[in-house]
Amino acid sequence: MSAVPHSLETGCGPSAALLPEMVDVIFGLAGESLPRDFEWPLFREVTRVVPWLAKTPRAGILPLRGPRTAEGGVMVTHRSRLVIRLPRDRVCSASALERAELAVAGARLTLGEGSFRKHQPSATLYSPRVNTGEADEVRFLAGLETELEALGVRGRLICGRRVQVQLEQGAETAYPVAVHDLREADSLVLQRAGLGRGQAVGCGLLVPHKTIQAAE
């Protein structure tokens, strides 16, 4: 498994020292389009190959990008990638996924070779869905403020329109969230820690974003 070129070592603020370094492992992806609410079936198939992932805190599969099908699923194209966030010391173990064949909710997928990228600081981080178990927007944001405070992170939260996500326990409310005005060290801490729950299926796994309009 090769590394994506990078130019910055991961940060070293006091909160960062309490969290393991996380990286994103990227696999090529080929196969059939995925149906709506494929996230948990996909996670189960991935953990069939690498069972340790299910027991790894803050690890999970980032939301799959791609054109949407008429039924609300995701088309798999030549540009599709499966991206898994996990501790850096597990990168070699994740190589078991290379060329793995997965059966996900009736669709068959094949993974390609893997590479990994280290996290880079960004003043704005974004997740298309963050779940805390709280449906009320005001209380949802208050809970996220508490999480940021516990991490020692300062940032401005922007919340988008509510969405539904399928977690292991069933459908729950989530919100798109951007965290703006982050210092470099805080940005790296937040990428390590994530926000809320359901991170196994990508909820609260934050990535750099260029514009604050992302959550609007």
Q: What is the pLDDT of residues 102-157, one digit of tens each?
A: 999 999 999 999 999 999 999 999 999 999 999 999 999 999 999 999 999 999 99
Q: Please give the structure tokens belonging to residue 52.
A: 């340790």
Over residues 196-206, the pLDDT tens digits come to 999 999 999 99
Contact 27, 111 (CB under 8 A): yes
- CA dist., res. 152 & res. 14, Å (int): 8
Q: Please give the structure tokens belonging to residue 32.
A: 């059939």
pTM, two decimal places? 0.87
Contact 186, 153 (CB under 8 A): yes
Instruction: Write b or e for each residue in 132-146: b if 16 or more Cβ atoms lie within 10 A of its Cβ, otherwise e.
Output: bebeeeeebbebbee
Which domains are assigned to the chain?
9-118 (3.30.70.1890), 125-215 (3.30.70.1210)
